[in-house]
Chains A and B, each alone.
Chain A
Amino acid sequence: MRHILPIVLALSVGAAIGRGGEARSDESSRMPTPAPQARRDPEPATANARCERCHEDVAREWRASMHAQSDSDPVYRRALAIEPLPFCRACHAPEADSCADAPAPLSAVGVGCVTCHVTRAGPDAATLTAGASMGIAPHSVVRDPAFATPVACAACHEFDFPEGASHGAPEQMQSTVSEHATSPLSGTSCIDCHMPRTPTPRRPGHRSHVFAASRDTSTLRAAVRVRSERLSPSTVKLTLTPGDVGHAFPTGDLFRRLVVVAEAIGDDWTVIGEDSRELRRRFEVRTMASGHLGRHMVGDDRVGVGAATPVTLDLGEQARGRAIAWRLEYQRVEHPLGGDGSAAVLAGSTVVTQGLIPATLENP
């Protein structure tokens, strides 16, 4: 999952041998932020390559992450073609000018090492870390504990819809940090789940930079628990409760949703009756106080918003006497269409969990 991830190379940097020691404390306010801020490095692709050379093992993890593919991911590219907004590019290609498509070298950097760790342009640029510096790095290092908190992720994982931001009626497009703050796991940081410690002999405090999230099936399956019961010959109730997840599930952008599916099974596993429900945020386009149109959230039935999410599905009379198969799918979709984002072409689906209610268990 590329959007809910902490952006912390800090610990590995902290373990490195530095030249300049820790920099001034006033650097500490420079958390990662997308363009169009002033370029932190005049040649970010070159600078990023320098990072990769010395921190090869970390870079290998990063290259496998969605952060590295933030501007090249095909689904994002298709969405950007539909809606070529600087607003989108600012986080997906933060090292490039957001007013134009990123040149290939900067597109390849995506959300790179320099995006999160380089604090400013110029000779006094420092590398941001949350941990202690050993003072032997060939660059200056600034330490800020806040870099290990959700504050570091907020710039790209918590923001308003563009029209709301500009017309004074904000509605959040992404709200992962807020969701985290109200979750039972608010006491933990983003990195505790998404950058787990993966110690190596050389780096005992190393945290993974793969940023495993929704692309990782085990992480996905741990996020929700489902209880099923057949209410009648034709209806089934599935109750979803949060598992090991510190925010709504799914969280992040509008390109993902949970779908609860139930199927009445005929001969040879043929689907003879089907019902499903999408769990996601729902928006309406309304006139705001300023007179402009903007989105207004009118529904949110994602897991983790409230104690439990009950879903009742009706498969029709053909389900009588038949087994019912159910499953929970995590779907990634193409650019959502329509005013409320309800319609979208499926880009990928992962079965989170599934079950079968035998015909013999149906209620009278």
Chain B
Amino acid sequence: MKRLHVIVAMFSLVACGTARSTGGEPPRSAPRPLPEPRAATAPTAPPLTVPPSPPEPTFGVVVEGPCYNLTAEVLENATLIHHGFVQSAYYYLKDISGARVPVPGRLVFGRVRDDGSIDGDPALERGIPLVSAAYAGGGAGTGTLDVQSLRGHWPDHVSLSLAGGGFRGIIDAFDFDWRGDHWAPRPPRTFGDEDRDVQAPWLAGSSLTMPHSWSPYPQFVVVPAGAAPTPDFSALHVPKEPDCTFVESAILTRPDGEIFLAGKFCGIYPTHDHPEWHYDGSHPPALQGESTIARWAPGSPAKAMTLPAVANHAELELDGFLEASPPSIYAFGTTGTSPEGGKAPYVAFYDGTIWSRVEVPFKGAVRERHVEPDGTLWVSNAAKELYARAPSGAWAKQPIEAVTTVAWQHDRPEWVVAGGAILHHGKGGEWTAIDAPHPAVSAGARYAQSRRHLEWGEELWLGAGAFIVRLGENGRWTRFDVPPPAFSPASHFAVDNIFFGQNRQVWIKASYEERRPEWPTPDKREALLLLGASRPATRCDADIGPSFSSWPPSATAACQTPVVILAHVSKSAPADFKFPQTRAAVRGHEEIAGAEFGETEIDGKRLLVARVPSLQKGSRLAELVSHAVAGTHPEVLCAEPTFTRTVSFDLGPPAVPPRSPGRAAPRP
């Protein structure tokens, strides 16, 4: 009922937009207040358009399961998928008891065929080292190496880059070229301390990086070396005891060489210095300063800038800049706690001379922010609201609630998923609810657009929950249901992302949770879905080579080899143990005929299992044993275990001993 109410409200918005379009353009920053929802105003909405036949293709699961960072890389003429990492253990798996299982990490690749199936040529792993050369050279190297990029033209010009942080405190990066049957390494990039996660574009096509050296003041390295002047922030070095560490939070570089750097600077507010971290007692505590912004320009020493005061400066956290028309800059962050809980928003404005506080009319921390060429500032916040701030300084709350997704066009919100509906933001500032196929989009929607700049008439895809919708070039909305996970019938997908491949391929990255009877918590699973894929889904660890899974998937009706895990048996049990209570539990139950009992071992555990002809029989067997044998939690999986020994159970009716004259029949 509540959802229906919201949808009706959106129809009302359409009426507002229609009226406005005939009455001249009101200021964008001051949209009309949301009228009371009235169903009678709804008919002015664009007609509901249902796609006629021919039927639209459907999404099919290409790969799913216990993948790690499952990704489809769209090359110029092919799509390669990969998941995993190298150089470290994978701890995501659980065994039957719920314990984490360490599995050596590896990178698994597959090439997507035209029908959506995966060509898991093992050669695609050939040449990838399991550890970085730096590790092999004597470092500790326990960080992971992930795919940083995979691009080119298959199969003649494909390049792969792996990168990751080692335990030694530097980043390892390795590049490879595909040679038809293996990856050939390129000469190692000589990254050192200069290659850190802090990066910003710099002069003459170079970039700035910041060594992660626990420095007390900002230190930069120019990559490539010597391509441009190195910014000098040494003037901000304030010796502290114990050691104080500068912590970077945001950087803005300008074409003229001016740098604005936000972070926690040692000694900037010395009375507020506080211990930052301890390292298991073997290191003295380190300090970090408090937040401010420092400015550096070529030819002058760096200076800490004065920020407008806040109630408790120690609580100020800066998290980003937004450059407006020069010399204006916005800085965003949080300070303290809002009365409603969560962080309170902090916005500051730099006019080229001083920073001043921008008062905001909302409570939630700023999330997305854009500024239009005319100076209009748009922000969405943690309260799922959307605000515009006119150049005059007037804030205007947009008449939409529960904003979950904003599609920006020229730094202006164009499409918004809010309150369970999709809204279009017209050029005149009006909000028009789009009557997308019901049920309407819900929270957590993601969007993709077919071209860099979204304009009416191009494809727009929005996804949430178990379906996505497409706004086609014909202006019609089409709903596409997302199928349930192939290997976990008790769960459903959440759409995490939508993206496009070659030849108008539409991909969905989705996730779900896999649950098992003995697991205290579920495990996250990942999946890739492709519009039009018709082949059976591939599990991450099947067909494309053994990978991360250590425990078979749950059986579904489609499973050809259902097996019931009946009990975790002590290894101290006699090798020829007869399982009398399980034997008694199944005796006489001919409805599970065809079950073959035996012992197997998975993950080092001794298990009593039964191969069964069908999921139905497996479920029945699990039910019988769980009721009769204390401590068991049978479950039906899809697997083909090898028996370490067979165990014969008689499923026929119990033998009835002949009655002896004068004696009562035995009790069951």
Contact B102 A345 (CB under 8 A): yes
Determine the distance from Cα of A274 to Cα of B630 in the docked complex, in whole angstroms: 15
Contact A269 B572 (CB under 8 A): yes
B189 within 8 A of A: no
Determine the distance from Cα of A338 to Cα of B88 in the docked complex, in whole angstroms: 7
Q: How large is the interface on A (under 10, 10 to 19, 20 to 34, 35 or more residues)?
A: 35 or more
Residue of B nearest to A335 (CB): B104
Cβ contacts under 8 Å, A267 to chain B: 581, 629-632
Contact A270 B88 (CB under 8 A): no
Cβ contacts under 8 Å, A335 to chain B: 104
Contact B89 A268 (CB under 8 A): no
Contact B604 A349 (CB under 8 A): yes
Most buried by A among B103, B283, B567: B567
- Shortest Cβ distance from residue A297 to the other chain B in the assembled complex, whole angstroms: 13
B191 within 8 A of A: no
Contact B631 A293 (CB under 8 A): no
Point out residues on A near B: beta carbons under 8 Å.
81-85, 87, 162-163, 166, 261, 263, 265-272, 274, 284-287, 292-295, 318, 325-327, 334-335, 337-339, 343-346, 349, 351, 354, 356
Cβ contacts under 8 Å, A354 to chain B: 572
Determine the distance from Cα of A11 to Cα of B619 in the docked complex, in whole angstroms: 66
- 8 additional contacts (CB under 8 A) given A166-B138, A286-B282: A83-B131, A267-B632, A271-B631, A293-B167, A327-B572, A338-B88, A338-B142, A354-B572
Interface of chain B: mostly helix, strand, loop or mixed: loop
- Shortest Cβ distance from residue A36 to the other chain B in the assembled complex, whole angstroms: 16
Cβ contacts under 8 Å, B280 to chain A: 284
Most buried by A among B89, B138, B142, B580: B138
Given A84-B136, A351-B571, residue A339 in contact with residue B167 (CB < 8 A): yes
Cβ contacts under 8 Å, A83 to chain B: 131, 135-136
Contact of A268 among B104, B140, B167, B580 (CB under 8 A): B580
| 9 tightest A-B CB contacts, nearest first | A266-B631, A337-B89, A272-B631, A269-B573, A343-B102, A325-B572, A270-B567, A267-B581, A270-B631
Determine the distance from Cα of A263 to Cα of B577 in the docked complex, in whole angstroms: 17
Contact with A along B537-580 (1 / 0, CB 8 A): 00000000000000000000000000000011111110001011
Residue of A nearest to B568 (CB): A271
Determine the distance from Cα of A334 to Cα of B88 in the docked complex, in whole angstroms: 13
Given A267-B630, A349-B604, residue A293 in contact with residue B567 (CB < 8 A): no
- Shortest Cβ distance from residue B609 to the other chain A in the assembled complex, whole angstroms: 13
B582 within 8 A of A: yes
Cβ contacts under 8 Å, A261 to chain B: 571
Contact B102 A338 (CB under 8 A): yes
B91 within 8 A of A: yes
Contact A338 B136 (CB under 8 A): no
B78 within 8 A of A: no
B439 within 8 A of A: no
B228 within 8 A of A: no
- Shortest Cβ distance from residue B365 to the other chain A in the assembled complex, whole angstroms: 35
Given A163-B139, A270-B630, residue A334 in contact with residue B571 (CB < 8 A): no
B168 within 8 A of A: yes
Cβ contacts under 8 Å, B582 to chain A: 268
Given A83-B135, A293-B140, residue A337 in contact with residue B572 (CB < 8 A): no
B130 within 8 A of A: yes
Determine the distance from Cα of A265 to Cα of B102 in the docked complex, in whole angstroms: 27
Contact B577 A269 (CB under 8 A): yes
Cβ contacts under 8 Å, B131 to chain A: 82-84
Determine the distance from Cα of A258 to Cα of B577 in the docked complex, in whole angstroms: 26
Contact A337 B570 (CB under 8 A): no
- Shortest Cβ distance from residue A74 to the other chain B in the assembled complex, whole angstroms: 14
